[in-house]
Chain A
Amino acid sequence: MAAIGEQSLQWFSAERVEAVPDLTSLVRDHSGLLYRVAFSVLRNPAEAEDVVQEVFLRVLQRQHELSGIIEVRPWLIRIALNMALDRRRRIRPGQMDESFAASLVAADLPADQRLADASRVRCVLDALERLPAKEREALLLSAMDDLSTAEIAAALSKSESSVRSLLFRARTRLRDRLGD
């Protein structure tokens, strides 16, 4: 009887190992993507890394729910996005835009040209901030090359057509505002 119990316990443990992904592999496979998602919202490397750590801590706390999650990556992206948006209320992303814009400008240009380009980048970032929340989130997620529209839709809890509509409106709005 005890042998049967041990065998069933071993079988159950083996089933759980197959069903639940390992946390180490999750960190290895998704930490980069989650960092980019958090950085696109916060534009602050330290804050983005804190968000990634918080995401995996949350995963560790809810590890028993991993077996019921069909698509792990959109789930992780949604957690990272929500945490970054929550952290964004406490910090101002604009305070890091100066250094971020300067990093995007080529260093071999003349000084006046670098200043003009940096000002242009700050205008783009400001226009991104003034977009409606859903449009901005869809646009930032679409910038990640390795995210499909279906994954963006799953992360935003929208349909794929809604995501496409959000992207179109965001692009149109940015073009109108930056073209003036």
Chain B
Amino acid sequence: MGLEYNHPEEAVDKVLAALRDAKPPEGMEARIHQRLTHTAPLPHSTGARWPAVVSRGKAIFAGSTLAGAWARGALTGAAFALLAVAAVLLLQHSSHTNLAHLQLAANNSTAPRGVAPASAAPASQPRTLPCVSSRLVRAQGPVSAPSGSYRPASFAPSRPAPELPLTAQERELARLAQTADPRLLAALAPETQAKLDAQETDNFNKFFAPPPAPPQAADTASPTNIQEDQAPPKEGEHL
């Protein structure tokens, strides 16, 4: 046997054969079964593991033993605790959402007219605001502050929105009202403008009307002149 190990190929084959022929220790299968049994029950021929768990649960919850009563009480208490936590979370979520909407509306009202915020809905559609997600509202800054800082603002009295700056047309109307130029004011009223136009037309026609025909020789004294001559003297003239 000593000569066999002098050849590399034979030495390798001998070592591999020794590794291959290693005998498992006595009782290995029994120890494996024992460990598997202690770890978890071996599956039965039905292959049903859940029925055992379900039947055990039924025995606990449906029985009239003291353990069953304790289990039912614990389960009921846990259910009530879960409901309470869910209600608190729901209330907090709703208050945060309302505050976010109020803050968003305030931002819209204080924004300069004609320059709408990119992330906010237009002011003419306030009913679309509830669709704004809480994440979007948090990203706008003021609403994302800690709850203690903006909670008093919700109880503060409401104030009217500040006056908006006048538009160009509004400023022009105010200027016209202050100057009170009848012509410019009349331009705003079509009836007055029509009267003014008619009067101007009459004046024009009177000014450019052809002169009356010269009087005849027989009647040099016109009734107008006679009337002027016969007119009573004025008070200044008597003085």
Contacts and interface: CB of A to CB of B under 8 A. Distances in A.
Interface of A: 13, 16-17, 20, 22-24, 27-28, 31-32, 35-36, 39-40, 43, 45, 48-49, 52-53, 56-57, 60-61, 63, 100, 103-106, 109, 113, 116-117, 120-121, 123-125, 128, 139-140, 143-145, 171, 174-175, 178-179
Q: Chain B's interface: helix, strand, loop or mixed, by majority?
A: helix
A180 B43 CA distance: 56
Contact of B24 (A23, A35, A144, A179): A35
Interface stretch (B2-10, B116-124, B167-175, B191-199): B2-10
Contacts, number: 115
B226 interface: no
Contacts of B19: 36, 39-40, 43, 140, 143
A125 B46 contact: no
Given A60-B39, A144-B20, A109 B9 contact: no
B38 to A, nearest CB: 10
Interface string B19-50: 11010110011011101100110110111100
Nearest to A45: B25
A174 B8 CA distance: 8
| Most chain B CB atoms below 10 A, which of A53, A103, A123 | A53
A157 B25 CA distance: 30
B31 A57 contact: no
A86 to B, nearest CB: 19
Contacts of B16: 139-140, 143
A72 to B, nearest CB: 15
B18 interface: yes
A32 B24 contact: yes
Contacts of A105: 1
A34 B54 CA distance: 36
Contacts of A178: 8, 11-12
A140 B25 CA distance: 20
Contact of B22 (A23, A36, A117, A175): A36
A31 B1 contact: no
Contacts of A128: 15
Nearest to B24: A35
Contacts of B11: 120-121, 123-124, 178
B1 A106 contact: yes
A52 B32 contact: yes
Interface of B: 1-2, 5-6, 8-9, 11-12, 14-20, 22, 24-25, 28-29, 31-33, 35-36, 39-40, 42-43, 45-48
Nearest to A121: B15
A154 B46 CA distance: 31
A49 B28 contact: yes
B1 A63 contact: no
B32 A31 contact: yes
22 contacts: A31-B24, A31-B32, A43-B19, A45-B25, A48-B24, A49-B24, A52-B24, A53-B32, A57-B39, A105-B1, A106-B1, A106-B2, A116-B5, A120-B6, A120-B11, A121-B5, A121-B14, A140-B16, A140-B19, A143-B19, A175-B12, A178-B8
A53 B2 contact: no
A23 B43 CA distance: 8
B11 to A, nearest CB: 5
A174 B12 contact: yes
A124 B36 contact: no
Contacts of B25: 45, 49
B20 A143 contact: yes
Nearest to A54: B35
A135 B25 CA distance: 28
A12 to B, nearest CB: 9
A124 B32 contact: no
A48 B25 CA distance: 10
